[in-house]
Amino acid sequence: MKAILSYFERDMLRWIRGRVSVISALVMPAAWLIFVGLALPTTFTDHYIDFITPGILVLTMLGASLQGGSLLIFDKILGFLNKFLALPSSRESILYGKILFITTRGLIQATVILVLAFILGATFLSPWSLALTYGILALFGVLLSAFSTTVALFLSDHDAYAAFNAMVSMPLFFTSSALMPYAVMPAWLSPLAYWNPVSYAIDAIRALQEGVLAWPRIGALFLLAVMVVGISVRQFRKVTL
C-alpha cells in the first residue's frame, strides 16, 4: 500500500502544480453543461439539465480516465518507467497508483461539475443518492483508467496516444444515452447505446435520481472493471521496455 500511495502522491503533486491542466480539464464538461444543458431545445423532458447532468458527469470521468494514459507515456519517454519496474515494489503497484490518482482526479473534476449543475438548477440529490453517484463514477473511473493505462504500455509517444484518445472518447460518448433517451434514438443507434459501457454508468446515475438502484447496470460495470483490471495486472507483470 505504501508503494501505491507513493505513486499516487507523485502524480497528484505533478497535476496540482500544472494549474493550466487543472483548469482546462474542467472547461469542456462545463461548456457542455452550460451550452447544451441550458440551450438545447427538447421535447422529451421539461428539465433537460436534470437529464444531461449524469451524462456530463460521466463525460468528465471519461475524459479524465482516458487522458490518464498519457501519464504512463510521459514516464516511458523520460525513462522513469524503466526505473519503477526495477524497484523492489511489485509492478502492479504502479498500475494501482495510476488508477487511484486518475480516478481521484476525475472525482474532483466531477465534484466541480456537480456543484455547477446545482447552481444552474439541477435537482438536489439525497445524501445517499449522492454517495452512490460517487461510487458509480469511481467504478467507471477504475474501468477506464485501467484500460487507458494498459493501452499506453503498447504506444510509443504522445501523438499516438492522442490519436487513440480522440478515436475512442467521442464515439463512446456520442453513442451513449448521454444526450437523449433510448426511445427517441434512431433504430440503429439505440442498441449500440444500450450496450455501451458509458451508458451503464449514465443509466445507473439517472436511476438514482428516481430513487432506484439499477443493479444490472452497476453489476455489469463492476464485472467489466474486474476483467479489465485483471488484464492490466497481467500485462504489467510481464511488460518489458
| Range of the structural domain that residue 11 is part of | 2-238
Q: By percentage, how much of the chain surpasses pLDDT 70?
A: 93
Question: Do 184 and 44 contact (CB within 8 A), yes or no?
Answer: yes
Give 40's pLDDT tier (boundaries 50, 70, 90).
Answer: low
Section 83-94 average pLDDT: 83
**Mean pLDDT across the stretch 92-99?**
89
What whole-number distance in Å separates Cα of residue 224 and Cα of residue 140? 9
Structurally, how many domains does the chain consist of? 1
Q: What pLDDT does residue 41 have?
A: 58
Is pLDDT larger for residue 20 or for residue 184? 184
Q: What is the mean pLDDT of the chain?
A: 86
Model pLDDT, residue 47: 75
C-alpha cell of 235? 500485462
Would you put residue 121 in left (φ > 0), alpha (ψ -120 to 50) or beta?
left
Predicted local confidence at residue 39, as pLDDT: 65
pLDDT tens digits, residue range 142-193?
Answer: 999 999 988 888 887 888 888 888 888 888 988 999 888 898 899 999 999 9
pLDDT band at 42 (very low <50, low <70, confident <90, very high): low
Q: Above 80 in pLDDT, residue 141? A: yes
How confident is the model over 110-134, as a mean pLDDT? Answer: 88
Judge contact between 237 and 101, C-beta under 8 A: no
Torsion of CA 139, 144, 150, 155, to 10 degrees: -170
pLDDT of residue 17: 79
pLDDT in tens, 194-231: 999 999 999 999 999 888 899 999 999 999 999 999 99
Place 37 in a pLDDT band, splitting at 50, 70 and 90: low
CB 108 within 8 A of CB 26: no
Predicted local confidence at residue 189, as pLDDT? 92
| 98 has pLDDT over 70 | yes
Distance CA 69, CA 146 (A): 9
Q: What is the mean pLDDT of residues 16-24?
A: 73
64: confidence class by pLDDT, cuts 50, 70, 90:
confident
